[in-house]
Amino acid sequence: MKTAKQYDRAYFERWYRDDRTRVHARGALERKVHFAVAATEHLLERPIRSVLDVGCGEGVWQPLIHAMRPAARYAGVDSSEYAVRRFGRRRNLRLGTFGTLGEIGLEGPFDLIVCSDVLHYVPSAEIPRGLEVLAEMLTGVAFIEVFTGADRIEGDLHEMKPRRPSLYDRWFSEAGLVHCGLYCFVRADFAAGITAFERGRG
């Protein structure tokens, strides 16, 4: 019988710092952050002013965002008491889950909302509610990285939900989020500036 998942210091050491088991190659995080910021600024046609990182872990996006855009406001949300206790004050992290985004006093809106490598661990009942709140707070791009049961995945498989891609399609559509490529989503009322080809529509 598997034990309940603990996002404690040992978890982050294993998956993010130990070269034998870490989930990202060195430099991958920096490239991901630069891409998300560039995509958002391309569509907004201005520098980003605010970032929300949902399921932020230790808030490792914060120092990279700060280095790129020192004036941008960053807020992180995570369910790990360890991460919030250790980095909360320094990186502006608060305790919460995907399903409680609307209940923890977030001061939106946000130009860029990040939810990287998170949704496939979130209970199904929380996802529609969380996506709806996320869409309400979004003014630019949501970078939402999702892996499904159709993907080959290495790394942390404990409590991963191998859902169908079509289920995520439905949830995102119901929340009013339009896919515009490479894990990037915009609100439906923003999508008029996104071409049909980018949205995957013929």
List, for residues 100-149, the tens digit of each pLDDT value.
999 999 998 999 999 998 998 899 999 999 999 999 999 999 999 998 87
Residue-number span of the structural domain to which 161 is assigned:
26-193
pLDDT value at 22 more than 70: no
Q: Is residue 21 included in any domain, yes or no?
A: no
Report pLDDT digits (tens) over 53-65: 999 999 999 999 9
Mean pLDDT of all residues in 73-84? 95
- Tallying the residues shown for the chain, one arrives at 202
Whichever domain contains 80, its CATH number is: 3.40.50.150
Query: Any idea what the Cα angle at residue 172 is, between residues 27 and 69, rounded to 5°?
Result: 35
Q: Is residue 178 included in any domain, yes or no?
A: yes
pTM: 0.86
Angle between helices 165-174 and 127-137 (to 10 degrees): 50
Mean pLDDT of all residues in 152-178? 84
- 3-state DSSP call for residue 84? helix
Q: Is residue 13 included in any domain, yes or no?
A: no
Q: Is residue 14 included in any domain, yes or no?
A: no
pLDDT band at 202 (very low <50, low <70, confident <90, very high): very low
Burial (CB count within 10 angstroms: exposed 0-12, middle 13-18, buried 19+), residue 201: exposed
Q: What is the pLDDT of residue 19?
A: 55
93-95 β-sheet, strand order: 93-95, 73-78, 50-54, 110-116, 138-145, 184-187, 177-179
Count the domains in the chain. Answer: 1
